[in-house]
């Protein structure tokens, strides 16, 4: 099973540090998703009004409706908009979509002396 994650953010402002852009935040999200789910997640990012955005008409519809950025779609369904990219919430939504649970480290039993 696989799913797609699509993020729409703003292009960087003049003078903005390269590590503090929506694209950089999305790349971090992508890294986390690949580490957790491997090739089961297909990831794409687009800047507002870019050629990349034109490849996703569903984004144009959401922008026209006034949906705040950043926009996160999982399998074409709006899962997050506005504010910051909540990596944990997006990971959980992907896990739900993939019908898996987000791995949680099992507690370690320590023998009592």
Tens digit of each residue's pLDDT (9 = 90 or more) over 52-90: 898 999 999 999 999 999 999 999 999 999 988 999 999
Return the CATH fold of 3-97.
Glutaredoxin (3.40.30)
pLDDT tens digit sequence for 2-19: 899 999 998 876 566 666
pTM of the model: 0.80
Q: Give the Cβ contact number of residue 105 at 10 Å.
A: 5
DSSP character string of the chain: --EEEEEEEPPPPTT--GGGSHHHHHHHHHHHHHHHHGGGEEEEEEETTSHHHHT-HHHHHHHHTTPPSSEEEETTEEEEESS---HHHHHHHHHHHTT-----PPPPP----
**pLDDT at 44 (0 to 100):** 95
**At residue 108, does pLDDT exceed 60?**
no
Backbone angles phi, psi at 103, to 5 degrees: -60, 135
């Amino acid at each position: 099973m696989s799913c797609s994650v699509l993020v729409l953010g703003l292009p960087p402002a003049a003078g903005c540090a390269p590590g503090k852009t929506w694209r950089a935040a999305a790349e971090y999200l992508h890294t986390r998703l690949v580490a957790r789910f491997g090739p089961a997640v297909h990831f794409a990012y687009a800047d507002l009004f870019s050629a990349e955005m034109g490849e996703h008409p569903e984004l144009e519809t959401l922008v026209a409706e006034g949906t705040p950025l950043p926009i996160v779609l999982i399998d074409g369904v709006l899962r997050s908009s506005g504010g910051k990219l909540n990596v944990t919430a997006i990971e959980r939504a992907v896990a739900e979509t993939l019908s898996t649970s987000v791995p949680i480290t099992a507690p370690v039993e320590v023998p009592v002396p």
